[in-house]
Amino acid sequence: MTELAFESGLALAEKIRKQEVGCLELLDYFLERAHRLNPKLNAIIEWDEERARARAREADAALVRGEIWGPLHGVPMTVKESYDVAGLHTTRGNPVYRDNVARRDALAITRLRQAGAVIFGKSNVPLNLADFQSYNEIYGTTNNPWDTARGPGGSSGGSAAVLAAGLAPLETGSDIGGSIRNPAHFCGVFGHKPTWGLLPPRGHAAPGVLAQSDLTVIGPLARTATDCEALTLAMAGPDEIHAAGYRLALQPSPFASLADVKAAVLIDHPRARVSQAVQGRVQAVADAIRAAGGSVDFEARPDIDLDAGHANYQMLLWSVMASRNPEDAYLKLQAQAATLDPADDSAQAQVLRAQVASFRDYSLANEHRTRQRWAWHEFFRRYDVLISPIMATVAFPHDHRPFGERSLDVDGETRPYFEQLFWAGLAIASYLPATVIPTGGHPDFADATLPIGVQIIGPEFGDLKTLGIAKLLEAAGFGFMPPPGY
């Protein structure tokens, strides 16, 4: 049954419905594979085997009775550690929460179970979900299946590594600075960052936190665009507090083929330089759309100063991230900011000021962001999507030095480590959906040694539009390719 390892989740669900494989049989298959391959990856860091087996037995019994729980009936999966799963730890990679055990499932987990999923474990994250790598003091370092000397990305790095290695067919992530899309790119899988608020995140937060964070979204990772779509729809829809008046009514993708697509393309930018290898993949996606008869425009941009927009995103981002700190840590930031020279405009000073921003500062940044959202809205009246990189390079070697000592090598040029937030922020700052597709399965790149992903950004609540184009590009050859040895 080796071929089952890289089947899509929906294909496995169909095999279950056709009784070609049993639910418990399939779970045991993935558990055996995960226990055998996970030690060299450290992607799965907590297991829930016995409850998963009980659930799989119930799923088998339900089939005998003619019951189908949902589109994922009996399909095994793992989830990002930061989602609450009753009885399992939720630490967010932070030793302060080492002993925190969730009392109830996150809403998204409840909905995945209602769709029929069988959850058997949790995948690794970085400290406070705040890195392009996935390591922490509690669970250690997660390695990239393509090259274990490199990271799988972050903060949903464990999720992407699980998928790439075929340890489970479906996964979940979250994203405030590329944390779904960056790992998808580094590991060669699909990832979808939904429109802000489309997937209610209740149960995905630090202990005791109930309010939805600005910028942050939860979303899926998978090995096919169709699986990403299915997971998105399974988790989407209003939370109970909104359910009396809101309904999920996403417009379906309008594209019958790539010939119907009108795309703008942004390949590189002085704010965040991109390697020639990554630029080549963005160009290849644009070429595929144009070759199919679609429209491609390399000059079109929303009526936004992208540099100013990125600075505003960082203001919002660091403010939100710092608000999660314990009080003593936040007071230290305030003390440090008070010592800054008013003339100090260094990147470090800008971050520190953003971390302790006043409510007025935040409100002004939100006004700037809201004007950007309307500019994007007008832009998407003329173009269906914007296609861009999500990171400058392929996965880089593990680097656990302090953030201030890290950098990225972009074709021999040393660039700041967090500069790559520019590409993530294009979508995050304005609440836009963005789907990352792998490109390694395309015949032109079949001999690639490391994966490269490309980002498809669409209008607010145009999630099925970006996912629909991802499905068309997948059919054109831009799909998942298993890493050697798995």
What is the DSSP code string of 117-167?
-EEEEEE---GGG-SSS-EETTTEE--BTTBTTB---SSSHHHHHHHHTTS
Distance CA 33, CA 337 (A): 50
What 8-state DSSP symbol labels residue 250? P
Look at residue 417 in the predicted model and tell me its pLDDT.
96
Mean pLDDT lowest for which of 15-29, 33-47, 157-171, 336-350? 336-350
Q: 228-258 pLDDT, tens per residue?
A: 999 999 999 999 999 999 999 999 999 999 9
Label residue 2 by pLDDT band (50, 70, 90): low
Mean pLDDT of 128-152: 98
**What proportion of the chain, given as a percentage, has pLDDT over 70?**
100
Task: Specify whether the CB–CB gap between 460 and 433 falls below 8 A.
Answer: yes
Mean pLDDT of 155-180: 98
Q: 345-355 pLDDT, tens per residue?
A: 988 899 999 99
Look at residue 1 in the predicted model and tell me its pLDDT.
55
* DSSP secondary structure, 377-423, as one string: HHHHHH-SEEEE-S-SSSPPBP--S-GGG-EEEETTEEEEGGGGHHH
**What proportion of the chain, given as a percentage, has pLDDT over 90?**
94
**Residue 285: C-alpha distances to residues 387, 407, 430 (Å):** 8, 28, 24
Beta bridge mates, 409? 414
Task: Specify whether the CB–CB gap between 375 and 341 falls below 8 A.
Answer: no
**Residue 101: C-alpha distances to residues 209, 306, 448 (Å):** 14, 42, 41
**Is 80 marked active-site?**
yes
Mean pLDDT of 209-225: 97
Look at residue 154 in the predicted model and tell me its pLDDT.
98
Task: Specify whether the CB–CB gap between 228 and 192 falls below 8 A.
Answer: yes
> Tokens in use for 261?
């697509």
Task: Specify whether the CB–CB gap between 79 and 119 falls below 8 A.
Answer: yes
Look at residue 341 in the predicted model and tell me its pLDDT.
94
Look at residue 445 in the predicted model and tell me its pLDDT.
79
Type and span of the H or E element at 191: strand 190-193
Catalytic residue among 159, 174, 179, 253: 179
Coil, strand or helix at 328:
helix
**H-type alpha helices, 267-401:** 276-291, 306-323, 327-338, 347-355, 359-382
Look at residue 448 in the predicted model and tell me its pLDDT.
79
pTM of the model: 0.97
Q: In terms of C-beta density within 10 A (0-12 exposed, 13-18 middle, 19 or more buried), how is residue 153 classed?
A: buried
Task: Specify whether the CB–CB gap between 260 and 295 falls below 8 A.
Answer: no
Catalytic residue among 82, 155, 174, 213: 155
Task: Specify whether the CB–CB gap between 158 and 134 falls below 8 A.
Answer: yes
Query: Tokens 């922020």 belong to which residue?
Result: 425
Count, residues in the chain: 486
| Residue 35 reports pLDDT greater than 90 | yes
Cβ of 185: how many Cβ atoms within 10 Å?
Answer: 31
Catalytic residue among 8, 80, 123, 430: 80
Query: Tokens 């953030």 belong to which residue?
Result: 403
Q: 419-437 pLDDT, tens per residue?
A: 999 999 999 999 999 999 9
* Mean pLDDT across the chain: 96
| Residue 443 reports pLDDT greater than 90 | no
Give the residue extent of every domain in the chain. Answer: 2-258+408-475, 306-367
Nearest CA to 430 among 252, 323, 302, 242? 302
Nearest CA to 92 among 102, 81, 103? 81
Look at residue 339 in the predicted model and tell me its pLDDT.
94
Look at residue 329 in the predicted model and tell me its pLDDT.
87
Task: Specify whether the CB–CB gap between 4 and 26 falls below 8 A.
Answer: yes
The alpha-carbon radius of gyration of the chain (Å, integer) is: 21
The CATH homologous superfamily to which domain 2-258+408-475 belongs is Amidase signature (AS) domain (3.90.1300.10)
Cβ of 290: how many Cβ atoms within 10 Å?
Answer: 16
| Residue 43 reports pLDDT greater than 70 | yes
